[in-house]
Amino acid sequence: MMISAPGKLILFGEHAVVFGEPAVALAVDLRMRCEAFRSPTYRVNGQALSPDRHAYIFSAISRYWKGEPLTVNTVSEIPSGSGLGSSAAVTVSVLGGLMSLSTGMDEPLLAERAFQVESEVQGRASPIDTSVSTHGNGVYLDTERGDDHLWSISMDTRRWHIHHLEVPELSLVVGYTGIHAPTGPLVSSVKRLVSTDPKARRWVEEIGEISREGARALRRNDQEGLGELMDRNHRLLASLGVSSPQLDALVEAVRPYSRGAKLTGAGGGGSMVALTDRVRETSVAIRKNGGRPIAVHTGVPGVRVE
Ligand code: MEV
């Protein structure tokens, strides 16, 4: 049984989404592949299953698998800690494998379970990464329910509605800093800032407005508009303290060749993304400034049996 799930790019709204603001995420053509089969003991990639080394897989199995022991092997095209959704993709593909071995794949239930696992391992989170990896293509997440609704997910007093977003052909280049920055502490640092500084609360709301405008710009394929919104979103994320000198340098370096650029995901390290028709020049600028360029394609399917 081989299951795959895509990595993701957050185009608008990371961090603000944790506070109930909308966000836009796109699935990208970097996939996590996972095989799962029954075996005498629990094994992951040749090692005994461990809650420390395999936190997401351990949580997924402990919560949602009642059968005999399994061997799980994963192969990833998504650099770990890159902000491109490798932990969501491993969670979604493993849960997809468990479901296929028992009741069969059910996407809304899978998205809900994947969010539970990610929250347990990572702490405070939103369901955006796990939902886009499940659904593929594009998702728009909001606290209000609108057209193209896919499913809704709740946690404590928060409730999110996840919607399908049709993604036009976009030419995107990721710049990976090579710095692994765990999401949990970055989310906590934004929470601290927002609870002590009223300006930060307004920045979060402004990011929410950018996500609403960004979803509209995507629907009408307004690439100029998307680029401007990405630049504004990056400045607000930097104000919230989640950019880094490396990310700012990459965003600056690609500016002459792109319509817009911003950090993507939790920040602190990880990656930035540029919307550009000049893929070669943008990639060279990223490399010259110490990043690893990765040209990505959108419009890809979500979790699936291979
Ligand atoms: C991480 O990819 C996105 C964050 O908004 C956290 C989350 O939504 O769970 C930073």
pLDDT tens for 215-252 read 999 999 999 999 999 999 999 999 999 999 999 999 99
Q: Please give the distance, rounded to the nearest whole angstrom, from the Cα atom of residue 266 to the centre of ligand 1.
A: 6
Rounded CA separation 189/92 (Å):
27
Task: Encode pLDDT of 33-54 as tens digits.
Answer: 999 999 999 999 999 999 999 9
CA of 48 to the centre of ligand 1 (A): 30
148 annotated active-site: no
**Residue written as tokens 């899978």?**
110
pTM for the model: 0.97
Q: What is the average pLDDT across 281-285?
A: 98
State which of 122, 126, 132, 139 you would mutate to test the pocket of ligand 1, scoring each by most atoms of that ligand within 8 A of its C-beta: 126
Ligand 1 atom closest to residue 18's alpha carbon, by position in its atom list: 8
Q: How far apart are CA 154 and CA 277, in angstroms?
A: 39
For residue range 78-100, list pLDDT tens digits in order: 998 899 999 999 999 999 999 99
Among 8, 18, 153, the mutation site with the greatest number of ligand 1 atoms within 8 A of its Cβ is: 18
Rounded to the nearest whole angstrom, what is the distance from the C-alpha of residue 69 to the centroid of ligand 1? 32
